[in-house]
Structure formats: C-alpha cells, structure tokens
Structure 1
Amino acid sequence: MKITNTQTILLAGATGYLGGYIAKALVEHQYNAKLIARSVQKLQTLERKTVKIVKAEVTQPETLKGICEGVTTVISTVGITRQKEGLTYMDVDYQANINLLNEAKKAGVKKLIYVSAINGNKYRHLKIFEAKEKFVDALKASGLDYTIIRPNGFFSDMKDFLDMARKGKIYLFGHGEQKFNPIHGEDLAIVCLQAIASPSTEIIVGGPDVLTLNEIGEMALEALDKPIKIIHLPDWTRRFIIWALRTFTSSKTYGPIEFFLTLMADDHIAPRFGAKRLSQFFKSQTT
C-alpha cells in the first residue's frame, strides 16, 4: 500500500470492532491521524507523535467543534447493531454521522469514507439500513468526495453460529444453501485505507471464501469438536418471526434480528478480498 504523509486522517468509531483494526493500521502505516473516543484511555496504547487521541462524542455535536481542522480525510465506522443507552439507529447511524459531516464541511475536508453494508439501498425498509442509507444520501449531496464501503458481513457477526454450536445444534431457515463471503475486520481495514486514495465512490467487498450457511454451521461445530447437527426450519417460520417482532416489539428489540434474518434469506456474494479465513477465526474463538 502506498503511504502519503501529506494526509491527515480523522477516524470516528475507533473503539469499535472495525474501527479498532483501522486505528492499528493507521499507526502501522505511519499516517498522521486523529482518533475520536469517548474514553481516551481505551486508545492510549496507540498514541504516537503522528497519532492524537481526541476525547469527543459523535452524538454530541458541541464536542466535535473544530475536530476536523487540518484533516484531509474522515473515516467513519460509526453505527450500532443493537440500540442501547437510549440511542436509536437514527441517533447514531444517521445523526452522529451528520454531525461529523457538518464539521468536515466547515473545515474543508476533502473526502469522507463511510462504512455501511452490502445492498443497503435494496434493504432500506429495515430499521438499521433506513438510518445508514439516509446518511449515504446526505453524504452524496454534500459536495465532498466520498467512498461508501459496503462489506458483506463481519467475522464477528458469525459468532452467533458458535453460540448455537456450543449447544450442539445449528438452526437454519430454509435449505441453508444461501451463499455469502463475510470479511475479517483486519482485511476490511486495509480496504478502508486503500479507499483514501481511491477514486471509487462505492466499494463492495467480502472475504476470500464464498460459503453456504450449511458450511458455516459445519465449521462452527467442527471448531468445537461437536457432531454435525444442522436443523433446517421452514422459511415461513423466519418470515413469521420478523412479522411478529415488528408487530409486537420495538425497533430496539426487532432491529438486529430483522437485519440478520432478512439478509440470511438470500445470496450475498461480494468481490473477494483478504487472506483471513472464517474457519481459522472460529478456531481462534474456541481456544
């Protein structure tokens, strides 16, 4: 990867799963960088002459004033899967990123890189995507250069398979032959850094292995030395669960379940990238 020291990168979401890998990559590749954190102690080990840790909360715009001064590119991984602390998807995935975008425009930032998810525009009816894609619309209309990163699921999301495997059985909806290629955060961090100099406005990316849900289930059971037991439930039960949750619970409860159950119903195959393999990740989580 070609590194240019004329860039100064502001990273928002540095204490999250993906943000943590991007922060380490910025240090490793000797970028000038500012890392935003509510708790600066969490990032103190990354502080360098070229890397400054800045205390701020993206949901509170008054804490962001002047934060983009001297910054050439903003990278945002800000978003939530599960709503907590009284914050909604609109509060975080949309408004917090709007707060960053407003500061970036004031400071003359050249580019903003935003991490959304694969097929976000197709699934705008889902609560999580509604907020993400509303921000994507605002970013496209902002006048800034931008790149939307659309990963095909994180390895960390696959821990649900390990949780089922620990109980001895994997439950899937339908035939289980739906295919996708999730990506490790370390590999995705490289994609995000490459986007700094990329002219692409959208990058769809997945991991190196295209896998069926059945294969992922088998991997999880094998990682725990469990017999292969996969139960296939009728697909109507998946649709009924989504309907029932949307009807009888709040978005805080149904948002993440709706997201996972909807995306697991179809193939989602992205261009392959990286070297980290899901089977190795599963084994690392069981030792």
Structure 2
Amino acid sequence: MSTKKVLVAGATGYLGQFLVRELKSRGFWVRVLIRKEAQKDKFKNVDDFFIGQITEPNTIKGITNNIDWIFSSIGITRQKDGMTYMDVDYQGNSNLLKEALKDKVEAFEYISAINGDKLKQLKIFEAKEKFVDELKSSRINYCVLRPNGFFSDMKDFLNMAKAGRVYLFGDGKFKLNPIHGEDLAKVCVDKMIAGAKEETVGGADILTQNELAELALNAWHKPIKISHLPDWTRRFTIWFMRTFTSSKTYGPIEFFLTAMAFDNIANQYGTNRLKDFFKFEVKRMKE
C-alpha cells in the first residue's frame, strides 16, 4: 500500500482512465480533475474529485492541496471548442504546474510523445515541448515520458482494412511499436516510483507499417491488399493542408503524416499484443 496522495489530470482520456485504475490497484490515494459533475460516473473508486477547467487558472485553485505526486496526460489531438494546442497542452499544464509549485508538490510526471523534442516545428509538439522545457527548469522533481502511438490510434489502419485495402506512403518499411494504455499506465507509475527523468515508452512488438497493415487486414479476414503511394503525395498533402487550412484542421494530419516518414521505435514494455487488440476491436465493430 502506498501512502502517497496523487492527482491525475487528463483522467477522462484514454490513458488517464488506465492510470487511475493502476494507481488504485497499487493502493494510492487518488484525486482526479474533471470538467463537470457528470464525469464522476466514469470512475468507480476514486478518493476525491476536483471540478475545474485546466485552462482557467482561477477554477483550479487548491487542486494540489496535500498532493505528493501529479500525473498529467492533459493534451488534445484535435483543436476544438476554440481551444488551441497552446491553450491546452502548454498553458493548461503550466497553470497546473504553478499550483504544484505553490503547494510544494514533490514530483510531476508529464506524458508527452515520442520524438516531440525533435519535431518542435509541428503545431501539436510545439506546445507540448514548451511545457516540457518549463517543467524541467522549475524547482520540482520531474519525469517526462514519451510514449509511442497508442493501440487506439492504430484504429485508422483497421478502418482502412475494413474496406479491403490499406494505403501506405513510401515502401511501408518504417517501424513502430505502439503501446496499449494498460501497459503504459504501469510504466507511468513504475517510472515515478523509480524517480526516472525522461524515457521513451513503446509496446512489446516492433512492426513495420506493412506488418501493421497485414495485421489489420487479417483481423477482418481480408486478402492482403496494400497500396504504396509515392512519398511526394505525403509531402504534398502536408504542404497543401498547411497552406489552405487552419492549424485546427491540419494539426493532427500534419502530425500523423510526418510520423509516417521515419522509424518510431521506443523502449519496449508491456504484454498486450496489437494482433489481439485488432481482433477484439473487429469483434466489437461487428456487434
């Protein structure tokens, strides 16, 4: 049993829900930040709820009272409701850090993304990395984890496969090792306990994009049909989106298409297999 009191910010997200479960299973006292009362239903055995908007500092005053550790996976993939990456990924986390410093919180773990430090030119990473820099230069023990893509992000391949063909840019030989939220949550807690500073985190299986496409097609029991598009089409799409749409539209597309153009291999963790996840998802989609 742990006597630590922890705050989970981003608790209603994909990773956040696994993180809350993992912390509770290890005996931590857990407070979660939620935006509205109705979100309480998502959690079974949380010790305390704090209702506030991370982007409005006056609504989160007191959130870190008596808290030892903070886990934040606050961030958005798509900019909506008039909120930008800078508003949420940077400013929201910065607001939380200010409260943490005021209350002398012991440690702050932030979940960024793999290669974020190398791709600061992308809108989605510009904001995340601005916060990473602020966290590192603050007076708090920090841990920055950089996970690879989540299993849930790989559903794009599954959706393409459903129609019978997967489209890839280039030769499909770039590799990645996506991770399940359950496995990542365990690593998040382990690394905080160990006092780790910074690490990349990926799943057990390192797969080429071709292998990923095959897994998706196999899950639907479809013949293997993969079309390889010339890489200039990928670069042109990024240029076109940046030129003719707002960052709200192009942000996630720019991120996805850029990540497809090199290896994304993180340290291997976990036991969940993408093959099993795809089978489970197909079964769910058929019901």
- Please give the alpha-carbon distance, in whole angstroms, between the structure 1 residues aligned to 2:10 and 2:184: 14
Distance in 2 (CA, whole Å) between partners of 1:71 and 1:170 is 47
Indicate which of 15, 23, 27 corresponds to 1:18: 15
Note closer, same or farther for the CA distance 1:209–1:176 as it changes in structure 2 (3 Å cut): same
| TM-superposed deviation, 1:60 | 1.3
Residue 66 of structure 1 aligns with an amino acid whose one-letter code is G
Q: Deviations over 1:108-130 (max 9, x none)?
A: 10110000001111100000000
Question: Distance in 2 between the 1:51 and 1:192 partners?
Answer: 20
Alpha-carbon offset, residue 223 of structure 1: 0.5
Give the Cα–Cα distance (whole angstroms) in 1 for the partners of residues 185 and 196 of structure 2.
16
Q: Please tell me the root mean square deviation across aligned C-alpha atoms, in Å.
A: 1.1
Q: Distance in 2 between matches of 1:47 and 1:101?
A: 27
Count of aligned pairs:
283
Unaligned 5+ runs, structure 1:
none
Q: What CA distance in whole angstroms lies between the structure 1 residues aligned with 2:232 and 2:44?
A: 51
Q: Which residue of 2 aligns with 1:233?
A: 229
Q: Is the 8 A contact 1:40 1:54 kept in 2?
A: no
2:259 aligned partner: 263
Say if 1:120 and 1:129, in contact at 8 Å, map to a contact too. yes
Structure-1 residue corresponding to 2:99 = 103
CA–CA distance in 2 between the matches of 1:45 and 1:246? Answer: 37
- Residues 29-71 of structure 1 show CA distances to partners (whole Å, capped at 9, x for unaligned) of 22111011113433346354x6212211111111110110100
List per-residue Cα deviations over 1:84-112 (Å, max 9, x = no partner): 11100000100000010000001110110
Q: Which moved more, 1:119-128 or 1:35-44?
A: 35-44
Give the direction of change, closer, same or farther, for the CA distance of 1:41–1:93 in structure 2 (3 Å limit): same
**Secondary structure in structure 2 of the residue aligned to 1:242:** helix
Q: Is the Cα–Cα contact under 8 Å of residues 2 and 26 in structure 2 kept in the other structure?
A: no
Superposed, which structure 2 residues align to 1:1-287 within 5 Å? 3-5=1-3, 7-44=4-41, 46-48=43-45, 51-287=47-283
Question: What TM-score comes out, normalization by structure 1 length?
Answer: 0.96
Percent of paired sites with the same residue: 54
User: Given the superposition, is the C-alpha separation of residues 121 and 99 from structure 1 closer, same or farther in structure 2, using an over 3 Å criterion?
Assistant: same
| 1:161 partner SS | helix
* TM-score for the superposition, normalised by structure 2: 0.96
Say whether the 8 Å CA contact 2:150–2:181 is kept in structure 1.
Answer: yes
Letter in 1 for 2:20: A
- Please give the alpha-carbon distance, in whole angstroms, between the structure 2 residues aligned to 1:256 and 1:69: 35
Residue by residue over 1:220-248, the C-alpha shift from the partner in whole angstroms, topping out at 9 and shown as x without a partner, is 11111111110000011100100111111
The aligned amino acid for 1:256 is P
Q: Which amino acid aligns with 1:115?
A: I
Amino acid across the alignment from 2:13: G
Which stretch shows the higher mean deviation, 128-137 or 20-29? Answer: 20-29
In 1, the alpha carbon distance for the partners of 2:17 and 2:76 equals 15
Distance 1:162 1:21 in 2: 22
Distance 2:53 2:282 in 1: 34
Whole-angstrom CA distance in 2 between matches of 1:39 and 1:65: 16
Counterparts of 1:26 and 1:53, CA distance in 2? 15
